A and B are shown apart, each in its own frame.
Chain A
Amino acid sequence: MIVKTVCGWMKAFILLYGIHIILYGHLTPGGGFAGGVIAASAFVLIMLAEGEAVGLKTFSRKAASTWDSVGVLSFLVMAGLGLLLAGTFFVNFWTTDESAHFTLFSSGIIPVCNIGIGLKVCSSLYLVFVVLTAMHLALKPGNKGENS
Chain B
Amino acid sequence: MTEILIALIVLMIIGALVAIETSNLLYSVISIGAVGFLLSIVFLFLSAPDLAITQMAVEVITLVILLRAIAGSGREAVSDRRSIFGTVVTVAMVLILAGFSVRMFADFPEFGQPVTDRFADAPSNMYLREGLEKTGAANIVTAVLLDFRAYDTLGEATVLFCAVVGALSILRRKTKKQPDEPDEENEP
Contact = CB atoms under 8 A, between A and B. Distances in A.
Interface of A: 21, 25-34, 37-38, 40-41, 44, 48, 52-53, 56, 60-62, 65, 68, 71-72, 75-76, 79, 89-90, 92, 95-96, 98, 100-102, 106-110, 113-114, 117, 120-121, 124-125, 127-140, 144-148
B42 to A, nearest CB: 16
A72 B160 CA distance: 10
B45 interface: no
A131 B175 contact: yes
22 contacts: A29-B49, A30-B49, A30-B139, A33-B156, A37-B57, A37-B58, A40-B61, A44-B64, A52-B178, A60-B182, A96-B136, A100-B136, A106-B136, A110-B137, A113-B146, A113-B150, A120-B160, A130-B175, A132-B171, A133-B72, A134-B171, A135-B174
Instruction: Please classify the interface of chain B as helix (H, G, I), strand (E, B), loop, or mixed, using the class held by over half of its residues.
Output: helix
Interface of B: 49-50, 52-54, 57-58, 60-61, 64-65, 68-69, 71-73, 132-139, 141-143, 145-147, 150-151, 153-154, 156-158, 160-161, 163-164, 167-168, 171, 174-175, 177-182, 184, 187
B137 A26 contact: yes
A128 B180 contact: no
Nearest to A112: B146
A127 B164 contact: yes
B54 to A, nearest CB: 4
A50 to B, nearest CB: 13
Contacts of B52: 29
A132 B178 contact: no
Given A62-B182, A110-B147, A124-B161, 19 more contacts: A25-B142, A26-B143, A27-B138, A27-B139, A31-B141, A48-B64, A62-B184, A72-B157, A72-B158, A75-B154, A79-B150, A89-B151, A90-B147, A92-B135, A107-B135, A117-B153, A128-B167, A134-B181, A146-B177
